[in-house]
Structure 1
Amino acid sequence: MPDWKLPTFLASILCAGAALGWLAGSSAWAGLAIAAIIGVVFLLTRLRHLQRAMMAASVTASPMQDDRLMTRAHLLASNLRDLRQAADRLPDAVVLLDRRQQIRWFNHAAESLLGLNRTRDRGQPLIQRMAHSDLADWLRDGAQGQLDDVAAPGNKDNQLNVTLLPFGEHQQLLLAHDITPMKRLEQVRRDFVSNVSHELRTPLTVIHGYLELLDPEDVPELAPVLGEMRAQSKRMGQIVEDLLTLSRLETQHEVIDERVPMAALLATVRKEAEALSQGRHQISLESTANADLFGSPKDLHSALSNLVSNAVRYTPNGGSIAIRWRREPGGAVYSVSDTGFGIPANHLARLTERFYRVSSSRSRDSGGTGLGLSIVKHVLNLHQARLQIESEAGAGSTFSCHFGDERLLAPDTGE
């Protein structure tokens, strides 16, 4: 490659790295860090080849050829220095490891975030330097996948997302992205939603109470208007209650575990579904798990009934809804299947996001708040369970809650 094209080539590497980092769902800085390291390795390789060429030509080369080789060497060294400085100033921590996970190089951010020291830690095993931290446990377990929300070893007030990538010949690249600003913004959002919801609860209760006092028979021409106002105030009240529930779940890290009798809970969920359906659907219940759950009765009732009420809302009249509680390898599964509209595949991954709607008009017409599945996801997370969604447009849906054996109890016979 001609020397005058090197800066353009290296700039292209950096831009491509940033773009790849963004497309992969990671930080653009992470992609930039990878690109910078690749550029450094490329330039080192070029310098090595140039050194060999200079040694081979030293016997027969003319002074002009020597000057040209020296100019190329200086240009490569200058580009290498620029790239190293660029990688050194990235806000994300970057650590280059050899095949034995010993530290070869790291940037300034790694000093502040990971607590590394340039004079002390080069050549040392990273796992040894990260001892007594979650990062060391993750490395010891094979560093599979990304490590999320881990305290920074160099500053416990910071939170990191950490990734370990294969690099070069049996080398690895550790990237640590500081997510502290994002976590703070997320906390501000939670506090705002919680405070606004609390402030809205009282005036909405007052409005709804006065609407209930108005008798449509006194002013017949306003009966449709009063009916719509009552329905909308009730819906707004439900949104506020769901927001408060979600705010509580998002800040909660564990539940107060109690026995949850599944026979009684399933019977309650079915009655609620029948009351909401008002005879428009065929609702069946199949319970073969012969097990109770260990968890929060209130939260589990909220999650399980949310799935059933969704099925009722989004299943046309005459459709069927099947509620099942059965065993599976490693635990038990609660599932709700319907013959409703179904959900296109491109929407499935985002269904548990707050206020995400496949069809806005259909959701509002059915009385949904757009928060139910988000509540379900957080409740299941608190119970170390997971939500599985299977659906096809026009062919109905199945929502399944998978609970591990550690959450199952033999039914209480009362004897």
Structure 2
Amino acid sequence: MSPSARTSWKLPAALAAALLASMLLGWLVGGQVTAWVAVVAIAEVVLLLTRIGHQTRTMMTAPASTSPLQHDRFMTRSRRLASNLRDLRNAASQLPDAVVLIDQQQHIRWFNHAAENLLGLRRPQDRGVLLLERMAGSELSEWLRDGAHEPLNDAVAPGRADSQLNVSLLPFGDHEQLLLARDISHLNRLEQVRRDFVANVSHELRTPLTVIHGYLELIDPEDVPELASVLGEMRSQSKRMGQIVEDLLTLSRLETQHDVADERVPMAALLATVRKEAEALSQGRHQITLESNTDADLLGSPKDLHSALSNLVSNAVRYTPAGGSITIRWQRTPEGAVYSVSDTGFGIPANHLARLTERFYRISSSRSRDSGGTGLGLSIVKHVLNLHQAQLQIESTPGAGSTFSCHFGPARLLAPGGSDEG
């Protein structure tokens, strides 16, 4: 058997293993095929379709051997190869994600059945057509025209108006590209159910917690000295539960918002307020410093920005041992402006940094509870910054402290007196 023939048999076997691994892993995690495995399998499908098709055409057009036995073997291998080609094509066609192979000029070369359903493509008339023209009038058209450098999330499916897509454009081969589109409608529906559940439960808990806390405040520990410590703990825990409910309601509201009502946020006054709150929470246990090299104000929601910026300061106070220092900075940069909070606290190991903004994520559960944190503060910060087109950056060294920085673009900056700095 020739080297090319041996390669042609090895590649389908490797692909079959990859597809089997994809389906098994998808089944184990609840029917969702892991993204990177699916991409590898899809790429291998298309690559093999091209290679095997080329090899089949070469073999079928080769002159017959002078030996009848060799000729029969050659034809048997050709028929098996053609059968494998059909199987691979069928497997690629049945993938749940839309797959479109386009050339260097973005002409459509091949697509599977899911692309017909989700993207509205039709065969054979759409083969050879420019993908940009075929997607005209949809969100995908604008995305492709802008270069499709980043994945497109929550795009309305051109083929199904009731579905949302996550779309990526990946380089493939020397001059081709793969467009992958995944239907995330069911995930969005589940996320909406989760948000509604959290919001409804939080609303239902607010009233009984208020009543419980109110009655606890009416009881004078001096009247029942034997229960003084118990009453103090009950008051502390009911207050903490009330704060968790309020933070959950805030998160639910932020998650359903797509923009904010822009107002001028006077940063000098906000910074002074944040510092006073930090000093009140610290009660003299820390050295708190405010530094500013700009008098620029921000454009956004005063309430939400105050919540986000004060959250960072209160976290610094809670997680910095007594005697440590906390520095609040508001600085102008070439890219806009940065609000940052630096502390000399415990620091955060690098493997935790990427997950800090997840709700209820804790590095140390006991330390978080003792400090009075709810585990939702950084989630609130992230959502507030997203609504203001800002970014959160976290730098930390275990044992040396942390710096949390909020980067605001020039479009959000206002000069004193009402003019736009950006």
Instruction: Using structure 1 for the length normalisation, give the TM-score.
Output: 0.94
Question: What is the aligned partner in structure 2 of residue 171 from structure 1?
Answer: 176
Query: Alpha-carbon deviation of 1:17?
Result: 6.7
Name the CA distance, whole Å, in 2 between partners of 1:50 and 1:294: 68
* 8 Å CA contact retained: 2:22, 2:34: no
Structure 1 residue 401 corresponds to structure 2 residue 410: no
Question: Contact (CA 8 Å) 2:390, 2:409: kept in 1 or not?
Answer: yes
- CA distance 1:3–1:390, shift in 2 (3 Å): closer
Q: Aligned with 1:285: secondary structure?
A: strand
Q: Which moved more, 1:216-225 or 1:297-306?
A: 216-225
Using the alignment, how far apart are the partners of 1:93 and 1:403 within structure 2? 37
CA distance in 2, matches of 1:35, 1:195: 46
- Code of the residue aligned with 2:343 in structure 1: it is D
2:142 is paired with a residue whose SS is helix
Q: Do the aligned partners of 2:169 and 2:177 also contact (CA within 8 Å) in 1?
A: yes
| Unmatched runs of 5 consecutive residues or more in structure 2 | 1-5
Mapped to 2, the partners of 1:161 and 1:380 lie a distance apart of 23
Q: 1:203 to 1:17 in 2, by over 3 A?
A: closer
- Return closer, same or farther for 1:5/1:168 CA change in 2, 3 Å cut-off: closer
Give a deviation string over 1:80-119, Cα, whole Å, max 9, x none.
1011111111110011112211111111110111111113
Q: Which runs of 5+ in 1 are unaligned?
A: none
Out of 11, 17, 35, the residue aligned to residue 12 of structure 1 is 17
Residue 323, structure 1, aligned to residue 332, structure 2: no
Which residue of structure 2 aligns with residue 368 of structure 1? 373
The Cα of 1:390 is off from its aligned counterpart by 0.7
- Partner residue of 2:3? none
1:35 maps to amino acid: E
2:42 maps to what in 1? Answer: 33
Alignment counterpart, residue 262 of structure 2, candidates 253, 257, 268: 257
Q: Is the alpha carbon distance of 1:101 and 1:200 closer, same or farther for their aligned partners in structure 2, counting shifts above 3 Å?
A: same
- The CA deviation at 1:25 is 6.4
Cα 1:210/1:140, change in 2 over 3 Å: same
Question: Residue 338 of structure 1: which of 337, 340, 343 is its match?
Answer: 343
Distance 2:347 2:275 in 1: 21
List per-residue Cα deviations over 1:203-255 (Å, max 9, x = no partner). 00000001111111111111111111100000000000000000000000111
2:209 equivalent to 1:200: no
Match of 2:359 in 1: 354
Q: Check the 8 A contact 1:147/1:163 in 2, yes or no.
A: yes
Question: Match for residue 133 of structure 2?
Answer: 128
Match of 1:286 among 284, 291, 299: 291
Correspondent of 2:52 among 37, 43, 50: 43
- Is the Cα–Cα contact under 8 Å of residues 16 and 35 in structure 1 kept in the other structure? no
Q: What SS does structure 2 have at the residue aligned with 1:119?
A: coil
Instruction: Give the whole-Å Cα distance in 1 for the aligned partners of 2:254 and 2:322.
Output: 34
Preserved CA contact (<8 Å) 2:12 2:48: no
Contact 2:331 2:338 in 1 (8 A): yes
Match status 1:273 vs 2:278: yes
Distance 1:106 1:143 in 2: 19
Deviation at 1:161, TM superposition (A): 1.1
- 1:47 is aligned with what amino acid? T
Which amino acid in structure 1 is aligned with residue 222 of structure 2? E
Match of 1:92 in 2: 97
- Residues 8 and 52 in structure 2, CA contact (< 8 A), matched pair in contact too: no
Partners of 2:7 and 2:130 lie apart in 1 by: 39
8 Å Cα contact 2:15-2:41 kept in structure 1: no
Residue 382 of structure 1: aligned partner: 387
Counterpart-to-counterpart distance in 1, 2:314 and 2:51: 59
C-alpha separation in 2, matches of 1:6 and 1:164 = 24
Q: Does 1:162 align with 2:167?
A: yes
Letter of the 2:230 counterpart: V
Contact 1:30 1:92 in 2 (8 A): no
Is the 2:328–2:340 Cα contact (8 Å) retained in structure 1? yes
> Which residue in the other structure is 1:185 paired with?
190
Letter in 2 for 1:321: I
- Structure 1 stretches of 4+ moved >6 Å: 2-6, 16-22
Alignment pair present for 1:241 and 2:250: no
Letter in 2 for 1:301: H
- Note if contact 1:14-1:35 (Cα within 8 Å) is conserved in structure 2: no
Relative to structure 1, is the Cα distance of residues 169 and 209 closer, same or farther in structure 2, using a 3 angstrom cutoff?
Answer: same
2:18–2:37 CA contact under 8 A, matched in 1: no
Higher mean alpha-carbon deviation, 10-19 vs 330-339, is at 10-19
Partner amino acid, structure 2, of 1:259: R
Between the aligned partners of 2:298 and 2:24, the Cα distance in structure 1 is 46
Pick which of 146-155 and 372-381 moved more. 146-155
- 2:109 alignment counterpart: 104
In structure 2, distance between residues paired with 1:396 and 1:191:
37
Please say if residues 14 and 36 of structure 1, whose CA atoms lie closer than 8 Å, have aligned partners that are also in contact.
no
The 3 A distance-change label for structure 1 pair 287 and 168 is: closer
User: For the structure 1 residues 39 and 301, does the alpha-carbon distance in structure 2 shift closer, same or farther, using more than 3 Å as the test?
Assistant: same
Amino acid at match of 2:143: W
Q: Which residue number corresponds to residue 148 of structure 1?
A: 153
State the aligned residue count.
409
The answer (yes or no) to whether the contact 1:160–1:177 under 8 Å persists in 2 is yes
Deviates more, 1:36-45 or 1:284-293: 36-45
Residue type matched to 1:51 in 2?
M
TM-score scaled to structure 2, two decimals? 0.92
Structure 1 residues 2 and 62: CA distance shift in structure 2, 3 A: farther
Determine which of 139, 143, 149 is the counterpart of 2:144. 139
The answer (yes or no) to whether the contact 2:152–2:166 under 8 Å persists in 1 is: yes
Q: Is the 1:257–1:296 contact (alpha carbons within 8 Å) kept by the matching residues of 2?
A: yes
Identity %: 73
Aligned mates of 1:135, 1:20 — CA distance in 2: 30
Q: Any idea what the Cα deviations from partners look like across 1:270-322, whole Å, max 9, x if unmatched?
A: 11000100000000111221111111110000000000000000000000000
